[in-house]
């Protein structure tokens, strides 16, 4: 009896099986409050410099160190001992700094029996209800007992409510330094950071600081003061006659106490 051959060809199997992993939480540290803004004290200092030649060194923070943009990046591994490489698309990253950070925050139960803290918890040291708990119909119920299971908080029954939780998390910190792309037309400092590990990767696009537009337009811009390009003219379009600043009295007031420190009349 003849033999019939059946040939099955299967093409292009995936190189790795299973779903990709999500093992890194990456976040950018907030720009400091007031970044890019000139305070009143700074303004007075600058005016005194311009009018009277007083010593003045700008302390306006624009997120720059020298000519480079610098920002902090926090990385939280979701599993202890994760081996990963951290890279940036532009600029350089500092060495990894590792700490076990203690976090206190409120966790919400949204008609569920389990809640997760914001960051991957290594150990949860305490969890207690902040206020009353509600069931699906909005009725106040006795707060259910809480148990801690690994990095999660579990309630005995599903409910609405908030829990104050204290826990520790492993935080890796990097400093990202981005020099100006001299050849670029715009977006001179933009960057994305990403962590790569066996089984997946995570990434984050860097948010630029307030006031970056001035530096995009003019690399010689002064932090907080914008570009110094341009000429100074009087309303009649003639060069403004700026006289040498002269004053015959100098009063020094302490900024914090508002007390007069000295008052000299020449």
Using CB under 8 A, list all residues that contact another protein.
Answer: 2-12, 15-16, 20-21, 46-47, 50-51, 87, 89-90, 184-187, 190-192, 194, 196-201, 203, 205, 214, 222, 225-230, 232-236, 240-246
Instruction: Spell 59-72 as b/e; 16+ CB within 10 A means b.
Output: ebbbbbeeeebebe
Closer residue to another protein, CB minimum distance, 82 or 103: 82
Q: Could you tell me the two tokens for 125? A: 């040291």
Q: Is 61 helix (H, G, I), strand (E, B) or coil?
A: coil
> Looking at beta carbons only, is 28 or 168 nearer to another protein?
28
CB of 256 to another protein, least distance (A): 25
Work out how close the CB of 99 gets to another protein at its nearest, in angstroms, rounded to a whole number.
25
Q: Give 11 or 110: the residue with its C-beta nearer to another protein.
A: 11
| Residue 127 C-beta: closest distance to another protein, Å | 34
Q: Which is nearer to another protein, 110 or 232 (CB)?
A: 232
Cα angle for residues 19, 21, 23 (degrees, 5° grid): 165
> Considering beta carbons, is residue 48 or 130 the nearer one to another protein?
48
For residues 208 and 178, the answer to whether their CB atoms sit within 8 Å is: no
Q: Contacts by 184-189 with C-beta closer than 8 Å and gap 24+?
A: 186/216, 187/216, 188/215, 188/216, 188/219, 189/69, 189/90, 189/215, 189/216
Give per-residue burial for 171-185: e unless 16+ CB within 10 Å, then b: bbbbbbbbeeeeeee
Q: Which is nearer to another protein, 58 or 152 (CB)?
A: 58
Nearest to 171 by CA among 101, 88, 79: 101
CB of 264 to another protein, least distance (A): 16
The residue among 69 and 159 lying less far from another protein, judged by its C-beta, is: 69
Is residue 176 a contact partner of residue 71, using CB atoms and an 8 Å limit? yes
- Mapping DSSP to helix (H, G, I), strand (E, B) and coil, where does residue 176 land? strand
Tokens 């099955």 found at: 8
Q: At closest approach, how far in Å is the CB of 79 from another protein?
A: 14
Residue 65 CB, shortest distance to another protein, in Å, is 21
Q: What's the closest the beta carbon of residue 181 comes to another protein, in angstroms?
A: 8
């Amino acid at each position: 009896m003849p033999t019939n051959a059946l040939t099955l060809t299967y093409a292009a199997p995936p190189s790795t099986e299973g779903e990709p992993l999500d093992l890194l939480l990456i976040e950018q540290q907030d720009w400091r409050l007031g970044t890019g803004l000139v305070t009143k004290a700074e303004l007075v200092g600058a005016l005194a410099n311009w009018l009277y030649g007083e010593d003045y060194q700008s302390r306006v923070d624009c997120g720059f160190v020298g000519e480079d943009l610098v920002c902090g990046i926090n990385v939280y591994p979701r599993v202890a001992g994760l081996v990963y490489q951290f890279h940036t698309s532009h600029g350089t990253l500092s060495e990894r700094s590792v700490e076990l950070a203690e976090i206190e925050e409120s966790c919400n139960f949204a008609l569920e029996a389990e809640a997760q803290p914001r960051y991957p918890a290594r150990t949860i040291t305490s969890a207690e209800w902040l206020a009353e708990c509600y069931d699906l119909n909005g009725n106040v119920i006795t707060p259910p007992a809480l148990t801690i299971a690994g990095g999660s908080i579990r309630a005995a029954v599903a409910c609405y409510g908030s829990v104050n939780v204290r826990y520790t998390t492993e935080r890796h910190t990097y400093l990202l330094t981005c020099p100006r792309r001299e050849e670029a037309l715009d977006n001179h400092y933009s960057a994305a950071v990403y962590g790569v590990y066996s089984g997946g990767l995570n990434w984050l696009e860097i948010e630029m600081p307030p006031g970056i537009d001035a530096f995009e337009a003019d690399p010689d811009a002064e932090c907080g003061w914008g570009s110094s390009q341009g000429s100074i003219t009087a309303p009649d379009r003639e060069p403004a006659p700026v006289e040498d600043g002269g004053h015959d009295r100098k009063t020094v007031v302490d900024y914090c106490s508002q007390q007069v420190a000295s008052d000299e009349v020449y």
